[in-house]
Amino acid sequence: MPRTKPKLSALYHLAEQLEGDRDISEPIARARDHAMAEECTGDDVDRLLKWSQQMDKASSTVATVRDSWMRGSFGVALARVIATVLGFSAMAGFLLSSERGLVNVFLFVLLFVILQLLMCLLGIAVIARNMFGSLPPVLPTNPARFLIERSAPGGRDLQEAQSALRLLFLRFGQELGALFTLGAIAAFFIVLAMSDFTFVWGSTFALSDSAVETMTASMALPWSAWLPQATVDSDLIFVSRFHPAVSSIGPSNIEAMRGWWPFLIMTVVVYALIPRILLWCLSMWLYDRELRGAILALPGASRVLSRMRAPIVATQGARDGPDGQSKVSAPRSIDRRILLLNWAGALKADEIDSYVEFQVLADGHCVNVGSGSVQAELKRAAAMLVSPVDHLYVAVKSWEPPMADLADFLSKLSKASRCTLFLVPLASRPVSATSVSDWQHFARGLRFASVDVQRLEQA
């Protein structure tokens, strides 16, 4: 079965649904999601997207996306046209503005090859930092926020989608750069066919003919073997050297100087156009992968998936319900990627199994912290954060306000990419909305790729 290609709008709509799903009672939500499991097939991303569709049908609502000139087929098509026209205009303007029809080869290569290649290298650096490094989120003072508010549905700035958003900008940047280069190539041929141009070279540096020959031969290595017509020989380099003191150029020399154009157009294609296309394809693939990862990292996504997977088994028992049957707990599904931090004794040892959320914990994957030596507790928690542990569960007392020492403690545990704060209720009382709001505000300051806040309900 082919995987669904999610859209950015689906990510933001799903985030809104998951946020609203927090207020649903756990038993009701578990029964609802288990009933949806049969229709939500595919991998985890497909399940979540189909769950989103089922939720829309159940509530008789349709996902709406805010109209904007920055989004939609019209906006994309307009940007593509503008990029192509700009490339055409830049090349045509450069050729037509050349004094006496003498096009400087070095200046041509600088503007339409080297600058483009440097931008491609910058794109590679951004991809590398995005995939293997740590980049700061899009802050309110960042100009990219202007684009996010008009490209992201609802103007939301999800922390989990930062990597995907950067790749989205990079993807469109490479596509527009490739169209710019195509427009420049088209202008090169059109203007060159309609006007007489001569290609010359000259520099304030003391460059010899042999140095220029070596330089052009090195640049032509990728195609010199199968397209020798697009190379520059020593005779052409000799006759096309330009001195400002020369007032006139003979007709025979002018005709020979035009032999630069195959070499110049191949440098644009090989060093500007092809890298742009390759980066465009790479960024599209990475964007799809990061967007799928952002969907799985949304706060509440793992909770919905666990509800779908967990079977509800009904057997005869002493505690019969109205239908003569009793519910028994489903077999445990262990996830060794999760580590529970019991902060300041929020949970008693005999209470952990009474919560459905903690039934996925592997044996020994619970560490008591927040009441002893900070260094010792950090060392013990960090020792547990080895592959494949990447998700922190943190149980906190909901009746106490968030404290800075917890934030400092969690900031030292950078090996985990996800964190979920579980608010433990006091004496079977429900967690108040004020407490949830305070802890959500606290969670926004944590430096994890994904942060979630959930209320605990005893099974």
pLDDT of residue 6: 81
Predicted confidence band of residue 153 (pLDDT cuts 50, 70, 90)? very low
Cβ neighbours around 66 below 10 Å, total: 12
Mean pLDDT along residues 242-246: 54
Residue 184 has pLDDT above 90, yes or no: yes
CA–CA distance, 121 with 119 (Å, rounded to integer): 5
Whether the predicted pLDDT of 295 surpasses 90? no
Nearest residue to 304 (alpha-carbon basis) of 70, 31, 5, 71: 31
Tell me which amino acid residue 444 is: R
| pLDDT in the model for residue 301 | 81
Q: Is the pLDDT of residue 314 over 50?
A: no
Span of 44-58, 122-136, 276-290, 385-399 with lowest mean pLDDT? 122-136
Given this model, what pLDDT does residue 157 score? 52
Query: From CA 113, how far away is CA 115, in angstroms rounded?
Result: 6
Quickly state the pLDDT bin for 160 (edges 50, 70, 90): low
| The two three-digit tokens of residue 64, written as one number | 């709406």
Q: Whole-angstrom Cα distance, residue 73 to residue 38?
A: 34
Q: Compute the distance between CA of residue 348 and CA of residue 43 in angstroms, rounded to an integer.
A: 36
Whether 143 contacts 277, CB under 8 Å? no
Considering only residues 2 and 247, tell me which one the structure prediction assigns the higher pLDDT: 2
**Tell me: the pLDDT tens digits for 361-375?**
888 889 899 888 888
User: Residue 52: in which H helix or E strand, if any?
Assistant: helix 44-59
pLDDT band of residue 321 (cuts 50, 70, 90) is: very low
What's the full length of the chain, in residues? 459
Which residue pairs from 368-374 have beta carbons closer than 8 angstroms and sit at least 24 positions apart in sequence? Answer: 368/342, 369/341, 369/342, 369/343, 369/344, 369/409, 370/341, 370/342, 370/343, 370/344, 370/345, 370/405, 370/406, 370/409, 371/344, 371/345, 374/405, 374/409
- Write down the pLDDT at residue 69: 38
Condensed to tens digits (0 to 9), the pLDDT of residues 51-93 reads 888 888 877 654 444 444 344 567 788 889 999 999 999 999 9
- Non-local (6+) Cβ contacts of 338 within 8 A are 360, 361, 362, 365, 389, 391, 392, 393
Least confident stretch, 111-115, 203-207, 272-276, 324-328 = 324-328
Q: Which pLDDT does position 203 carry in this prediction? A: 62
Q: What is the pLDDT of residue 67?
A: 40
Which pLDDT score, from 0 to 100, does residue 114 have?
Answer: 93
Is residue 366 classed as helix, strand or coil in its secondary structure?
Answer: strand
The percent of residues above 90 in pLDDT, for the chain, comes to 20
Q: Is the pLDDT of residue 436 over 90?
A: no
What is the value of pTM for the model shown?
0.68
Cα–Cα distance measured from residue 385 to residue 127, given in angstroms and rounded to the nearest whole number: 26
How much is the pLDDT for 154?
A: 45
Residue 392: name the closest of 454, 448, 432, 442 by CA.
Answer: 448
Structure-token pair, residue 389: 């542990």
CA dist., res. 148 & res. 155, Å (int): 7
Q: What is the pLDDT of residues 376-428, one digit of tens each?
A: 888 888 888 876 788 899 999 998 999 889 999 998 887 788 888 999 988 76
Residue-level pLDDT at 103: 83
Pick the more confident residue, 234 or 133. Answer: 234
